[in-house]
Amino acid sequence: MKKSVICAAAALSLTAAVIGTGNACKVFADETQPSPACKAAYLMDETSGVQLYAKNETEHLPIASMCKIMTLLLAFEAEERGDISFSDEIKVSERAAGMGGSQVFLGAGLIYKADDLLKSIAVCSANDSCVAVAEYLCGSEASFCERMNRRAKELGAENTLFANCTGLPKEPQYSCAKDVALMLRELIGHEKYQEYSHVWLEDFAHPDGRTTQMTNTNKLIRTYDGCDGGKTGFTNEAGFCLAAAAHKGETCVISVAIGANDSKSRFSAVTSLFDYAFDHFESTVLLREGEPLQEKICIRGSRTGAIAVVPERTLACLRRRGTDENYTVEYAQREAIAPIARGEVLGEAILYRDGVEIDRVALLAGEDADRFSWWEAYREGARNWN
């Protein structure tokens, strides 16, 4: 792969300041940092994964219903693969209907739409819906938990072990503030979750004519401007927990609090972390996921002379307010020879701070480029010969 210019300029220079390198980035402590009243806390820039604040972030702790972040994530990913549809009908088992704690009181033997069950998990933390969905996807909750643990490892959540899909007390089961943030970061990008997470009050209709009222357990969607959703949790073992996401302009952050003494304290802890992030940091998006770059890549051996390329994910730089540093984006592309399929990796965009690489993102073909037919190749060769 060679260094080359895809855009008109060799580099994009910005006045910005990234805090560190890659997902292990950390800011230095200062006197302005908050002191959330909880056992563990974590604050992350959602786009870059940069750590902005941490308190006991890898300590193994029960996280109660925040486990359902992973339950929802697996369901949405299954829908994307075609393993489940939101319109699927799910028959509720006796075991699922008998779950305690937060629930929508599903009827054993009754059939519900997957969409309704998933919404009840996101809005009111329904344990019965969790088990019904888990059984539908994997045959049993135990098999679903195995998938939860595999996915956690794939996300880099190394200090997490799930024993059920609800977060109800069961040994051994634990996670940590940092891992919860990683899981929520993955979930928050799903449009259907965004739809569910902003529901405040809604009736849940049962097939037998009953109605259960659902109220969102995350009060920040009403009290904090820019809150993009999240997940609460409470058991006697875990204390009061909350993971939530919020944005202001292009700056998006995720905040986690575990083990607060009461519900008010968990909301205050997360709010203080949000305020700290937005007061002291700002993010500038350089390349946005799915948006084509201005300049196209030339394709050899195709009637399609050049095709658009799109970044695989958003590339952004995060800076502490009031600082000035030089940033450049350079592009490395491989030789592009037809046939090219949409989504094929054609290069990378590399972000540098003062000449030091801090991030890179793959550049994907935005369209197909078919190979010349025999006659087209002959004609093109003749034209070039002339």
Q: Which active-site residues does the annotation give?
A: 65, 68, 125
What's the rounded Cα separation, in Å, for the pair 103 and 126?
4
What's the rounded Cα separation, in Å, for the pair 355 and 11?
11
Any residues with CB less than 8 A from the CB of 102 and at least 6 apart, and which? 65, 124, 125, 126, 127, 217
End-to-end Cα distance, the chain: 31
Contact 242, 267 (CB under 8 A): yes
What's the rounded Cα separation, in Å, for the pair 37 and 325?
34
∠ Cα 170 176 180 (to 5°): 100
**Burial profile 56-70: b = 16 or more Cβ within 10 angstroms, e = fewer:** bbebbbbbbbbbbbb
Q: Which of 137, 123, 132, 134 is nearest to 97 (CA)?
A: 132
What's the rounded Cα separation, in Å, for the pair 270 and 277?
11
What's the rounded Cα separation, in Å, for the pair 385 and 138?
61
- Interhelix angle for 127-138 vs 114-124, to 10°? 140
What's the rounded Cα separation, in Å, for the pair 154 and 60?
18
Q: Which residues pair with 239 in a beta bridge?
A: 235
- Interhelix angle for 127-138 vs 68-81, to 10°? 40
Q: Which of 100, 96, 53 is nearest to 277 (CA)?
A: 53
- Sheet arrangement for strand 51-55: 51-55, 40-45, 251-260, 239-248, 227-235
What's the rounded Cα separation, in Å, for the pair 350 and 120?
41
Question: CA gyration radius for the chain?
Answer: 24
